[in-house]
Amino acid sequence: MANMSLTKNPMLAQDPNVRNRNFEEVALGYTEEQALDEAQRCLHCKNKPCMAGCPVMVHIPEFIAETAKGNFEEAYQIISHTSALPAVCGRVCPQESQCEMYCVRGKKGESVAIGRLERFVADWHNAHSTVAPEKPASNGHKVAVVGSGPSGLTCAGDLARKGYEVTVFEALHLAGGVLVYGIPEFRLPKSIVQKEVDGLKALGVTIATDTVVGRTLSIDELMEEYGFEAVFVGSGAGLPMFMDIPGINYRGVYSANEFLTRINLMKAYLPDSDTPIQHPKKVAVVGGGNVAMDAARCAKRLGAEVYVVYRRGMEELPARKEEVEHAEEEGIVFKTLHNPVAILADENDDVCRLRCIRMELGEPDASGRRRPVEIPDSEFELDVDSVIMALGTSPNPLIKSTTKGLEINKKGGIVVNEDGLTSRENVYAGGDAVTGAATVILAMGAGKTAAKAIDEAISRK
């Protein structure tokens, strides 16, 4: 008999007033008892509505069934059949708008905690599994991957398992893409990402860091001089956007990318790091997505009072619900229905205030969301010494400008067909480089699709 509790098993978390001063993981995951109990809530629906909500079609009822029986390794094998990074996705997928949104249990009460179960199973596997992945025999074909974010890592892993000799070229000194430079340690411990990268190396994947494709090497050279038969571009959407308001270059105004890179990639919060970070006292983070939540919660951990300034309402915040709740618990103040109009500074050009205007929601726009409109004469100023812009990113133009014949759309994304093939023969692309800033799971899905297409194309030759 299924567990008919209307609510999910809650996941233990560090106390908000403790965790908002450290960088250790916030959510502590399920215990075995909790996982068994939660897995009992699944009704094993025949038509599997939840699966339709997962971009990579994880076999959800099947893995939960094994979990309920305590067969955690079997459960892991089922997930890893379709998802390359379960320990990551279980933590960062926006489940409430994907798998869990379609769960029948959600119609009355809360959905099954699919994400938490996925995380539990993946962590259990990482802690208990002793089987090292075996390096498959080489099939003699070479494929290059540009970028080591979730799309690139997934594509590389799938091809390596089929025997391809894969080299991943990464511009930064560490592999992982946004998973290492963007998403903070307290939400996704870097050791988890490292484990995934080490797993790929064990499969025979070569990771070439410190290599900027388009500068150190071009895509044409990779194919013509180095003998790569296909290239997958997973270079992400790393170009930060800034608001066109006065004062945007004052000292203390950061893009979320810069602020998060200093903290996550360069470990500026640790005393032995050589990279500096400002320790602001009062911070305004502009934006409402995951990136804004991460920046806000990092600033909080550096000791600041933090406002999130967002032009729509609480309901419209695009961030994962869990992150918003965690941020609120940690004492971050949401100034929704507010929009910045100017940044003010003192005589040294150091930020001292953010001028905002109040907004209200008007008619729905093209995207169906109600458009925020300014309320006349409602300007006021927030006392802050730092402003972090988390307004989104667009694809970096470097690859486009150094690769002949690569078609790009109006927003700078690489144009691909349903197989991930670009306008250039043997050049594939996926993830944020194609879609603009999206999600980990979508990027992984795109890496998978391209790996399949690359394998088919090369096998056909």
Ligand X SMILES: Cc1cc2nc3c(=O)[nH]c(=O)nc-3n(C[C@H](O)[C@H](O)[C@H](O)COP(=O)(O)OP(=O)(O)OC[C@H]3O[C@@H](n4cnc5c(N)ncnc54)[C@H](O)[C@@H]3O)c2cc1C
Closest CA to 323 of 157, 93, 155, 103: 93
CB 343 within 8 A of CB 349: no
- The item of another protein, ligand SF4, ligand X, none sharing an interface with residue 339, based on CB under 5 to 8 Å by kind, is none
**Nearest distance, CB of residue 238 and another protein, angstroms:** 4
- The item of another protein, ligand SF4, ligand X, none sharing an interface with residue 150, based on CB under 5 to 8 Å by kind, is ligand X
What SS3 class is residue 382? strand
Selected from 114, 213, 243, 345, the binder of ligand SF4 by CB under 6 A is 114
Residues 258-277 that bind ligand X (CB under 6 A): 260
What SS3 class is residue 364? strand
**Nearest distance, CB of residue 88 and ligand X, angstroms:** 9
* DSSP E strands, 322-392: 333-336, 338-345, 351-364, 370-374, 380-383, 386-389
State yes or no: residue 149 binds ligand X (CB under 6 A): yes
State yes or no: residue 26 binds ligand X (CB under 6 A): no
- Placement of tokens 């926006």 in the chain: 94
CB 52 within 8 A of CB 102: yes
* Half-sphere CA count of 59, side-chain side, radius 13 A: 14
Smaller CB distance to ligand SF4: residue 29 or 287? Answer: 29
State yes or no: residue 178 binds ligand SF4 (CB under 6 A): no
State yes or no: residue 349 binds another protein (CB under 8 A): yes
State yes or no: residue 275 binds another protein (CB under 8 A): yes
Selected from 20, 261, 386, 439, the binder of ligand X by CB under 6 A is 439
CB 95 within 8 A of CB 122: no
Selected from 115, 234, 287, 318, the binder of ligand X by CB under 6 A is 234
> Which residues lie across from 339 on neighbouring strands?
357
Selected from 17, 31, 216, 417, the binder of another protein by CB under 8 A is 216
Side chain identity at residue 449, one-letter code = T
Smaller CB distance to another protein: residue 238 or 431? Answer: 238
- The item of ligand X, ligand SF4, another protein, none sharing an interface with residue 105, based on CB under 5 to 8 Å by kind, is ligand SF4
Q: Can you read off the two tokens belonging to residue 370?
A: 């109600």
Distance CA 411, CA 434 (A): 9
Which of these segments, 9-17, 61-69, 241-249, 318-326, binds another protein (CB under 8 A)? 241-249
- Placement of tokens 């004492």 in the chain: 331
State yes or no: residue 112 binds ligand SF4 (CB under 6 A): yes
- Placement of tokens 């409602």 in the chain: 378
Distance CA 113, CA 244 (A): 41
Phi and psi for 197 in degrees, rounded to 5? -65, -45
State yes or no: residue 105 binds ligand SF4 (CB under 6 A): yes
State yes or no: residue 65 binds ligand SF4 (CB under 6 A): no
How far lies 64's CA from each of 4, 51, 111, 300, in Å? 15, 12, 13, 36
Q: Name 270's Cβ contacts closer than 8 Å, sequence gap at least 6.
A: none
Q: Can you read off the two tokens belonging to residue 247?
A: 């004062």
Binding pattern for the stretch 137-176 against another protein, x by CB under 8 A and - elsewhere: ----------------------------------xxx---
Side chain identity at residue 406, one-letter code = L
Residues 347-406 that bind ligand X (CB under 6 A): 396, 398-399
Residues of this chain that interact with ligand SF4 (CB under 6 A) are 42-45, 48-50, 54, 56, 58, 60-61, 64, 83, 89-90, 93, 95, 98-99, 103-105, 112, 114-115, 118, 441
Residues of this chain that interact with another protein (CB under 8 A) are 171-173, 181, 209-212, 215-217, 238-240, 242, 248-249, 251, 254-255, 257-258, 261-262, 266-267, 270, 272-276, 278, 348-349, 396-398
